[in-house]
């Protein structure tokens, strides 16, 4: 499975990985989003609904969509949803196979929410490469649908565009594209993810449904790889740690202080981790 995914990614610059996320995690994400929206409405003494779409559209009368996308993403991150999504066995196996065993994920991103009849190109993005926004070449990107039905559209990818290098651009769209390129509207369902490179050209597909589409775009990287973009301006959290990194952590510092913890009576960090889960 991993080899097939890798071959598709190398060939096309993107790949859909189907049915890799447990429904429970997706449902938790939806619940957290809806609860946060209800909380915003309650604070303003406004009516709340069961529908995530109705709550979102009413919150949009109070805050900008951008603001909501940021606070909802923060809520998911602090509730451990980013970690749960990326820790799904098949996802983590693929990431480790592609990037190595030291993986971290971006934590200061925002959700991509699409409502019908949107014109604003912040929400209905034109063709672009994530590299333009500072995502370095050693990063990988995931597009994870959290609220998606078959009539909502998704993202459109240009096949093999990752091999074209850094495309000249102006005001967030390409100045020029080669003739005869092929693109694909990704057919994807909740529980699946799209993996793509920072150079793969893609754009938002309009949502024709009356319900909102919610996706989480997130970049992941191996923290030992050089930062070739603006990664130093962002925040990351550790997802997966190699033996080498664990060993470095045990030694504590670059001088490898002799007997740093010899004879200590403190509980090990692993026991504290167990306590936190209780
Ligand atoms: Fe994008």
| pLDDT tens-digit series, residues 116-167 | 999 999 999 999 999 999 999 999 999 999 999 999 999 999 999 999 999 9
| pLDDT tens-digit series, residues 12-31 | 999 999 999 999 999 999 99
Q: What is the pLDDT of residue 264?
A: 87
Which percentage of the chain shows pLDDT scores above 90?
94
Classify residue 262 by its DSSP letter.
T
Ligand 1 centroid – CA 130 distance (Å): 5
Low-confidence stretches of the chain (pLDDT beneath 70): 268-278
Measure Cα distances from 262 to 24, 259, 265, 266, 273 in Å: 43, 5, 9, 11, 21
Our CA dihedral for 97, 100, 104, 110, rounded to 10 degrees, sits at -40
Ligand 1 centroid – CA 2 distance (Å): 24
Ligand 1 centroid – CA 270 distance (Å): 38
Per the document, the length of the chain is: 278
Report the C-alpha gap between 73 and 138 in whole angstroms. 24
Ligand 1 centroid – CA 129 distance (Å): 6
Q: CATH assignment of 2-241, given 1.20.1580.10, 2.60.120.620, 3.40.50.720, 3.40.50.970?
A: 2.60.120.620
Ligand 1 centroid – CA 202 distance (Å): 6
Q: What is the pLDDT of residue 265?
A: 86
Ligand 1 centroid – CA 203 distance (Å): 6
Ligand 1 centroid – CA 124 distance (Å): 10
Ligand 1 centroid – CA 135 distance (Å): 10
């Amino acid at each position: 499975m991993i080899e097939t995914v890798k071959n598709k990614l190398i060939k096309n610059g993107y790949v859909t990985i189907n049915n890799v996320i447990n429904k429970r995690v997706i449902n938790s994400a939806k619940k957290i989003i809806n609860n946060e929206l209800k909380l915003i409405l309650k604070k303003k003494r406004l009516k709340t609904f069961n529908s995530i779409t109705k709550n979102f559209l009413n919150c949009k009368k109070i805050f900008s969509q951008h603001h909501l996308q940021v606070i909802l993403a923060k809520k998911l991150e602090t509730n451990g949803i980013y970690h749960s999504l990326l820790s799904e066995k098949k996802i983590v196996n693929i990431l480790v196979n592609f990037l190595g065993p030291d993986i971290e994920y971006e934590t200061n991103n925002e959700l991509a929410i699409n409502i019908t009849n949107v014109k604003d190109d912040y929400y209905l993005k034109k063709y672009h490469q994530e590299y333009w926004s500072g995502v370095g070449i050693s990063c990988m990107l995931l597009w994870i649908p959290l609220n998606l039905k078959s009539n909502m559209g998704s993202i459109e990818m240009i096949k093999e565009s990752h091999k074209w290098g850094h495309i000249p651009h102006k005001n967030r769209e390409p100045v020029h594209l080669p003739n005869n390129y092929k693109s694909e509207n990704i057919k994807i369902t909740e529980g699946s993810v799209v993996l793509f490179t920072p150079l793969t050209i893609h754009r938002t597909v309009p949502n024709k449904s009356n319900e909102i589409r919610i996706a989480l775009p997130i970049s992941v990287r191996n923290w030992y790889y050089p930062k070739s973009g603006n990664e130093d301006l962002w925040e990351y959290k550790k997802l997966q740690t190699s033996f080498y990194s664990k060993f470095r952590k045990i030694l504590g510092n670059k001088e490898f202080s002799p007997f740093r913890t010899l004879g200590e009576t403190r509980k090990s960090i692993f026991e504290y981790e167990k306590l936190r889960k209780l």
